[in-house]
Amino acid sequence: MENVFNRLLKSENNIFKIIIDGESSKKYENKLKAVLKNKGIKVYKIKFVNDKNDPLLRLADYMAGLIRSYFDKKNKDNTYIYDLLRHKIKIPY
């Protein structure tokens, strides 16, 4: 997954908004922006959201877990679901 994330970051120089599941402080947000800036990536806004209030974030969280489970080969049920959705999932390589 780290390789996928690194390739995505290499392809994007400007990111308008990053939405992260959970709560955090302004200090953490500034640190994250600094790390991305050091990699040459400009982020305009980082937003921390509780997934209980955002159904799309819950869906994204589920899909991320499904994909990770598939690549880690941890769960036969998740492999089946991943295979059903494979044609809809785009992972930059």
State pLDDT tens for residues 17-27. Answer: 777 777 777 88
pLDDT value for 29: 81
| 19 and 58 fall within a common domain | no
For 80, the domain range is: 52-93
pLDDT over 70 at 92, yes or no: no
Q: Which one, of 41, 89, 38, lies nearest residue 62 by Cα?
A: 89
- What is the C-alpha R_g of the chain? 15
pLDDT value for 18: 78
Q: d(Cα 56, Cα 78) in Å, to the nearest integer?
A: 19
| 78 and 39 fall within a common domain | no
Q: How far, rounded to the nearest angstrom, does the alpha carbon of residue 51 sit from its chain's CA centroid?
A: 13
| 35 and 4 fall within a common domain | yes
Of the pLDDT bands very low, low, confident and very high (cuts 50, 70, 90), residue 1 is very low
| 57 and 70 fall within a common domain | yes
| 4 and 43 fall within a common domain | yes
Mean local confidence (pLDDT), 11-39: 77
User: Lowest mean pLDDT: which of 2-6, 24-28, 40-44, 85-89?
Assistant: 2-6
| Proportion of the chain above pLDDT 70, given as a percent | 82
Domain count, the chain: 2
Residue 7 has which token pair? Answer: 């390739």
